Amino acid sequence: MIKFKNVSKAYDSQVALSGINIHIAEQEFVSIVGKSGAGKTTLAKLLIAEEKPSSGNITISDWDISDIGHLEIPYLRRQIGVIFQDFKLLPKKTIFENIAFAMEVCGEKQKRIKDLVPQLLKVVGLGDKWSRYPQQLSGGEQQKVSIARALIHHPKIILADEPTGNLDSINAHEIIDLLLKINELGATVILVSHNREIVNTLKKRVITLDQGIVVSDQAVGKYII
C-alpha cells in the first residue's frame, strides 16, 4: 500500500533520510522509532506531502506522491488521518464544534456533519461530552477528540505522530488501544513514537531509524535504540 523506494531527503547540506526502502501493507500496524534527529519526523512529513523527497519515489497504492501537485495535496490528506502530540484543538469551540469545523473547511454539508460527528465521538468514547470545551477534558480525552477529527473522511491510513507524548501511562495505553481498534476496523496505522514501553507492549512491526537510515525492520519488534 505504502512504498518508499530509495527515498532520500536533504536540507541544504544536511541529510535527513538516505536510501529509505519501506513497504507497508494494507491494514498493517507499524511503529516508526528512533532517537531525536533520526529522521522520523521527516518521514512523516514526506508521507503527507508536507515535504518532497530529494530523490526516490513514494507511492500510496498506485499513486506516486513524490512530486505531487499543489492541487492534489488536499485529496491526499483526506486519505491520511493525522494525529499530533499537542492535540491542536480550538479552545473556544466545543469538541463537537472542533470536529464540525474540520468538516466545514472541507466543504461538507451540515446534514452530514450533524450525522457523523456524534458517531465519531461515540467511537472514541466521548459521546456524552460533545458540548464540553477542550479545557474541560483530560489530556487523554483531548487526544481522543483529535482522533475523532482524524477519522472524518474514513481515511485508509492513520499517521499518529507521538500521540502519547503529553499523556500519562494510563491515558497513553487508552490511546494505543483506540488506535488498535481503528486498525482492526481496517485502517493502516503508522505510529511514530519514542515510548519504549508502548512499542514493546504492542508486539507489532517496528521500523527503527538512526541517522536517516533504516537500521532494523522487525515483523514483531522492539524498541532497540
144-184 per-position pLDDT tens digit? 999 999 999 999 999 999 999 999 999 999 999 999 999 99
What is the pLDDT of the chain when averaged over all its residues?
Answer: 95
What is the pLDDT, as a whole number, of residue 106? 87
The CA-CA-CA angle for residues 149, 151, 157, to 5°, reads: 130
**Residue keyed to cell 497513553:** 172
CA atoms of 86 and 167, how far apart (whole Å): 10
At 201, phi and psi to the nearest 5?
-75, -30
Cell triple for 13: 547540506
178 and 126 in contact (C-beta within 8 Å)? no
120 and 178 in contact (C-beta within 8 Å)? no
**Residue keyed to cell 536517516:** 212
pLDDT above 70: percentage of residues in the chain: 100
Question: Which CA distances in Å does 180 have to 2, 31, 186, 203, 204?
Answer: 19, 12, 10, 12, 10
pTM: 0.94
- Please report, as a single letter, which amino acid is at residue 99: I
Helix extents (H) in the chain: 40-47, 73-78, 95-105, 110-123, 139-150, 169-184, 196-202
User: How far out from the chain centre does Cα 63 lie?
Assistant: 19
- By CB atoms closer than 10 A (0-12, 13-18, 19+), residue 119 is exposed
54-91 per-position pLDDT tens digit? 999 999 998 999 999 999 999 999 999 999 988 999 99
Domain boundaries, the chain: 1-79+155-225, 90-153
Strands 55-60 and 2-11: antiparallel
Specify the CATH class of 1-79+155-225 in words.
alpha beta
